[in-house]
Amino acid sequence: MNPVMIGPSILSADFRNLGAQVAAVEAAGADFIHVDVMDGVFVPNISIGFPIVEAVRAATNLPIDVHLMIVEPGRWIERFAAAGADIVTVHVEVDPNLYRTLRSIEEAGASPSVTLNPGTPVVMLEPVLPIVRQVLVMSVNPGFGGQTFIPAALERIRRVRASLEAVNPTCRLEVDGGIKIGNVRKIVAAGADTLVVGSAVYAPDVDIAAALHALRAEVELEREIREEQ
Ligand code: DX5
Ligand code: ZN
């Protein structure tokens, strides 16, 4: 079992103070920073691009996990890698040349990662499972922070975990969308080892360090139970 990693999504951060918001989660023990790139075409929202990845790169030594919610992701891989991405995730729904794109991520010096929306059959992932270093199971329809976790994602996490055990057991299994203190244990129990948290950590009335520590404690509790079994 991989150790569990927790990565805040800056989508919900206060962009007036981005450097401080990144430093705060790093000081509180975050394992990586998740950056959501949206194009207004694949998802009904437009977020951020290269300059913000560069700014995050300058603000932290933590790995930067770039989630591309854009059409034609293959056109932009080198630019995101050059901006500082350590992991680049592309959606199966928008890329007819997945092998080529995932290889180009590796060639650009980053870790290839693949994902799919909650309504896309998980079998779509199967051909590329042997060549990725991370699979992301979306647990909301992408586009916005603060949405509710879709319960059917748990079974999808179990299925992907079982497939990975057979073909790529060290591959990371990331989950993104609606992760909170009340459901994080179930998500880890289903087989996730990499957790994206947005609004559970970055919100006006939330103490960032306390929220991250509380999530970590829940995760550790679940892992201890699993290791005893
Ligand atoms: C949704 C993004 C997520 C989002 C998660 O499109 O991919 O990374 O920021 O935010 P929460 O944790 O608030 O659902
Ligand atoms: Zn994301």
* Percentage with pLDDT > 90 across the chain: 97
Catalytic: which of 36, 39, 65, 193?
Answer: 36
Question: For residue 10, which ligand has an atom nearest its CA?
Answer: 1
Give CA torsion, residues 209, 150, 116, 194, to 10 deg. 30
Residues of 192-203 as b/e, b for ≥16 C-beta within 10 angstroms?
Answer: bbbbbbbbbbbb
Extents of the domains making up the chain: 5-228
Please tell me whether the overall predicted TM-score, pTM, comes out greater than 0.95 for this model. yes
Instruction: Look at residue 229 and tell me whether its pLDDT is greater than 80.
Output: no
| Closest ligand 1 atom to Cα of 197 | 12
Query: What is the tens place of the pLDDT at every residue in 104-138?
Result: 999 999 999 999 999 999 999 999 999 999 999 99
Active site residue 14: no
Query: What is the tens place of the pLDDT at every residue in 153-206?
Result: 999 999 999 999 999 999 999 999 999 999 999 999 999 999 999 999 999 999
Whose C-alpha lies nearest to ligand 1, atom 6? 142
Catalytic: which of 31, 65, 176, 193?
Answer: 176
Residues 5-228: name the CATH superfamily. Aldolase class I (3.20.20.70)
